């Protein structure tokens, strides 16, 4: 029950649901997610931390950069089902489609350069 409640609380925010959905496209650097949503890096980090604590995302650090992705096939069924449910429920949503389109542009940029540019702001 505790894990289920963490998941539902993590999904109770539009930004976190949108972040989870863009991660369907693969692993992303925090800078890419920050660029997409136009939020402060600290806000993005807080949202990702909540998703991480609910085990809805996995992370890895590479130097200064932190990357996030959806949990792998070995994740518990409750997590895989929650991610699948969100994806199916939001399929075709105009905001989700807009995020997907914008993400394609962002993914063409070098993540290292994108991160450096954000740190200079």
Q: How far is CA 34 from the centre of its chain?
A: 10
Residue 116 parent element (H or E): helix 111-120
- pLDDT tens digits, 10-62: 999 999 999 999 999 999 999 999 999 999 989 999 999 999 999 999 999 98
Range(s) of the domain holding residue 76: 2-120
The total domain count for the chain is: 1
- pLDDT tens digits, 46-103: 999 999 999 999 999 988 889 999 998 889 888 989 999 999 999 899 999 999 999 9
Full 3-state SS string of 53-101 = HCCCCEEEEECCEEEEECCCCCCCHHHHHHHHHHHHHHCCCHHHHHHHH
CATH number (domain holding residue 95): 1.10.10.10
pLDDT attached to residue 110: 85
Q: What is the value of pTM for the model shown?
A: 0.90
pLDDT attached to residue 114: 82
pLDDT surpasses 80 at 116: no
């Amino acid at each position: 029950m505790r894990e289920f409640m963490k998941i539902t609380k993590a999904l109770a925010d539009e930004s976190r649901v949108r972040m989870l959905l863009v991660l369907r496209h693969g692993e992303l650097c925090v800078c890419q997610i920050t660029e997409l949503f136009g939020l402060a890096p600290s806000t993005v980090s807080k949202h990702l931390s909540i998703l991480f604590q609910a085990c809805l995302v996995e992370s890895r650090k590479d130097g200064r950069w932190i990357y996030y992705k959806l949990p792998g096939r070995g994740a518990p069924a409750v997590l895989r089902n929650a991610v699948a449910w969100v994806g199916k429920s939001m399929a075709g949503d105009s905001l989700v489609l807009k995020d997907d389109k914008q993400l394609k542009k962002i993914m063409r940029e070098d993540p290292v350069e994108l991160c450096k540019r954000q740190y200079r702001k």
